[in-house]
Amino acid sequence: MKISKQFRFEASHQIQNHLGKCANLHGHSWILTVTVEGPLFLETGMVMDFFDIKSCVQPLVNFLDHSHLGSGIHNMSHVAPSQHLITMGIPDLPTSENLLWWLADQLSHSQPKFTWSCLELCETCTSSAQLTHSEWAERREATHGQAEERQEDGEEGNAQEAQQEEVTLAPPARRAPQSSSTLEITDDDIPF
């Protein structure tokens, strides 16, 4: 079963070396949709508590809200010191696609026990990008493997990781109970 929660933030960006209007500085009311897929737990009747999704994602949304994306401009005044974010590395080319990769990296780094299945980022009401967890994991595996090869060859590891600055993120207040008893609902179970 899939559940989703939406988050909204306001942020500006400018796409350098782009021939269209987006080369100019402008802003959007971005909408991030986080989808979680899993079994329905009998004890709670939930896949995951929406509060727990919010606890994992909201610090990132707070970090991005009312900021300028890209160009190394990062205002940390609204991020609580107890949060854990990789504050460096917001893409200098802040397209929806690149921002999704960055968000996926942030969620996986700051909340390793939180597994999302799909992220969707809408920059306008008619334009969006989606990234599945499997696409992200496949790219991460390929990138991680290349970094290990470079280290084995005596070259420096991933320079981006070495330059990242960290701040600590409070863990979610509640977690969905772990249980092996799940409820599977098929089309045969739904009366028509």
Output the pLDDT for position 147.
Answer: 58
* Helices and strands counted in the chain (H then E): 4, 9
CATH number at 20 reads 3.30.479.10
Q: How many domains does one find in the chain?
A: 1
Residue 18 resides in a domain: yes
Residue 155 resides in a domain: no
pLDDT band at 151 (very low <50, low <70, confident <90, very high): low
Residue 141 resides in a domain: no
For 51, the domain range is 2-136+165-184
Q: Judge if pTM exceeds 0.75.
A: no
For 87, counting Cβ atoms within 10 Å of its Cβ (0-12 exposed, 13-18 middle, 19+ buried), the class is middle
Helix axes 50-64, 96-110, angle to 10 degrees: 120
Residue 154 resides in a domain: no
Residue 160 resides in a domain: no
Residue 53 resides in a domain: yes
- Residue 168 has which token pair? 């600590």
Residue 50 resides in a domain: yes
**What is the rounded CA–CA span in Å between residue 127 and residue 134?**
22
Output the pLDDT for position 172.
Answer: 39
Mean of pLDDT over the chain:
76
Main-chain dihedrals φ then ψ at residue 164, nearest 5 degrees: -75, 140
Residue 158 resides in a domain: no
